[in-house]
Amino acid sequence: MLNSEKVNITTKYINDITSDFEPEIAIILGSGLGDFANVKSCTAVPYSEIPNFEISTVKGHKGQLVFAEMFGKKIVFMQGRFHYYEGYAIQKVVYPVAVFKKLGVEKLIVTNAAGGLNESFSNGDLMIIKDHINLMGTNPLIGENNEDLGERFPDMSEVYSKELRLLAKKCAKSLNINLKEGVYAAMTGPSYETPAEIRMLQMIGADAVGMSTVPEAVFANYCGIKTLGISCITNLAAGLKHEKLSHAEVIETANVVKEKFKKLLNSVLKNI
């Protein structure tokens, strides 16, 4: 489990840098979606300068915390996340969420680029995550429990807040955005799934697949942080089309739909 002393050191450093900004909402921006944090009058802190933070090594992940006020809400953006496949221990992947909890965050919006499994989905669709399937072979809560953050055996019946999902749907309807909703399956990566694995995922009820999000959502739920998950369907998964998959395609599609994504996220933040 996470070291409370290290979390406190990180939190103190951030509070000193931001003059006790005290964010109420945290947003983790996935591959190709980091531009949303390019806002005026903000404080940006590179991960490399934050005690006990790791460095994001993946293209499309800028690697900094951005503190800004939008629509009257104080927000901390994570421009790029840490992935299990980068070689980080699973507790390192969720370390920022523990820090967010200490900073006072009450709501988390976690985003990702994902492969579509539901054959009614198209490239560029946005999907609200209603539930997930953890196929990463690990759990960020393994180890000694930290009673300051949560209980040993947290309930998982509503990892993704019904209240926030309903809000996102209402916002999408008002913007005439065809918002999908489905189950997200998390694999370790970094290799993409095989066609046989995709068929298995479809059979067990997954609508999208990716290599992130689930660890942070599990940990946020454990900490009592309400979570909204949004996937950008950047490609159809292996076996569902003839072209080979590439990370360049993921970034390219995310760039195409980022204006739609920004409109939805702005509306959610206005009304949250």
| Structural domain spans, the chain | 4-271
Kindly report each contact of residues 14-18 with a partner whose C-beta sits within 8 Å and lies 24 or more positions away, as own/partner. Answer: 14/45, 14/50, 14/65, 14/99, 14/103, 15/103, 17/43, 17/45, 18/43, 18/45, 18/67
Could you tell me which residues come within 8 angstroms of residue 47 by beta carbon, excluding any fewer than 6 positions away?
A: 53, 54, 55, 56, 63, 64, 65, 80
Confidence category of residue 170, pLDDT binned at 50, 70, 90 = very high
pLDDT of residue 147: 87
pLDDT of residue 234: 84
**Does the structure show a pLDDT above 60 at 60?**
no
Question: Six-digit token pair at 18?
Answer: 């931001």
| Token pair 């998982």: residue | 156
Confidence category of residue 45, pLDDT binned at 50, 70, 90 = very high
Q: Rounded to 5 degrees, what are φ and ψ at 215? A: -60, -45
Confidence category of residue 175, pLDDT binned at 50, 70, 90 = very high
Mean pLDDT of 203-224: 97
What is the overall mean pLDDT for the chain? 91
Burial annotation 111-123 (CB, 10 A radius, 16+ → b, else e):
bbbbbbbbeebeb
DSSP 3-state of 166: helix
d(CA 30, CA 251): 10
**Does the structure show a pLDDT above 60 at 231?**
yes
Cα distances (Å, whole numbers) of residue 118 to 91, 174, 235: 31, 25, 11
pLDDT of residue 42: 82
d(CA 166, CA 114): 21
CATH 3.40.50.300 fits 4-271, yes or no: no
Is residue 208 a contact partner of residue 182, using CB atoms and an 8 Å limit?
yes
Confidence category of residue 237, pLDDT binned at 50, 70, 90 = low
Confidence category of residue 245, pLDDT binned at 50, 70, 90 = low
The residues carrying an active-site annotation are: 31, 61, 83, 85-86, 113, 211-212, 235, 247
**Does the structure show a pLDDT above 80 at 6?**
yes
Confidence category of residue 4, pLDDT binned at 50, 70, 90 = confident
The distance of Cα 122 from the centroid of its chain, to the nearest Å, equals: 21
Report which of residues 113 and 153 the model is more confident about: 153
Mean pLDDT of 208-213: 96
Percent of the chain with pLDDT over 70: 90
Is residue 218 a contact partner of residue 140, using CB atoms and an 8 Å limit?
yes
Mean pLDDT of 112-131: 93
